[in-house]
Amino acid sequence: MKKLCLFVLLVLLLPVTSSFAALPTATGQQILIPYAQVGDGYWSGVAIHNLTSSSMTFSFSVYKSDGTWVSGSSFSLAAHAMNVGLVESFFSGMAPSGRMSVLIKCPTDGSLPFQATLFVGSDQGFGFQNYKSEAYTYNIPLGPI
């Protein structure tokens, strides 16, 4: 009888415990630029274009080749606007240097796609690569109750 009561109790509590484990999620847009170079005779620039008819807020993060976060910033772009500059210009403090990857996110739930272009050059010339954002899902932090 005790085992049956314990089993029934566990079955009844299972939905309650699983609801605490799952955090609410939202979907944003992001672009990962796997390689950029600043210094040692090279420069990298980025152009970010808001393709939507409303303002968007972006986060701009830089990671070393070993995955260590170096620096980040955020900014807003008006509808159909662009933000163009050298990678260093996206930071107000100490600008990153060396080889890096760049992660550009619009962490607003249901945000629409955006585009970016990476320019890399030296005194020998330059090249560019276009990127289109992809959706990603993230957990919404629970605030104080």
What pLDDT tens digit does each residue of the chain (145 aa) get? 666 655 555 556 555 545 455 778 888 999 999 999 999 999 999 999 999 999 999 999 999 888 888 888 899 999 999 999 999 888 876 667 889 999 999 987 778 899 999 999 999 999 999 999 999 887 776 655 4
Instruction: Quote the domain boundaries for residue 101.
Output: 23-139
Helix (H), strand (E) at residue 11: helix 2-21
What does the alpha-carbon distance between residue 127 and residue 115 come to, in Å, rounded to a whole number?
A: 17
CA distances from 107 to 17, 25, 38, 58, 131 (A): 28, 11, 26, 7, 17
The CATH number given to whatever domain includes residue 51 is 2.60.290.11
Whether residue 16 is contained in a domain is answered as no
What predicted TM-score, i.e. pTM, was given to this entire model? 0.76
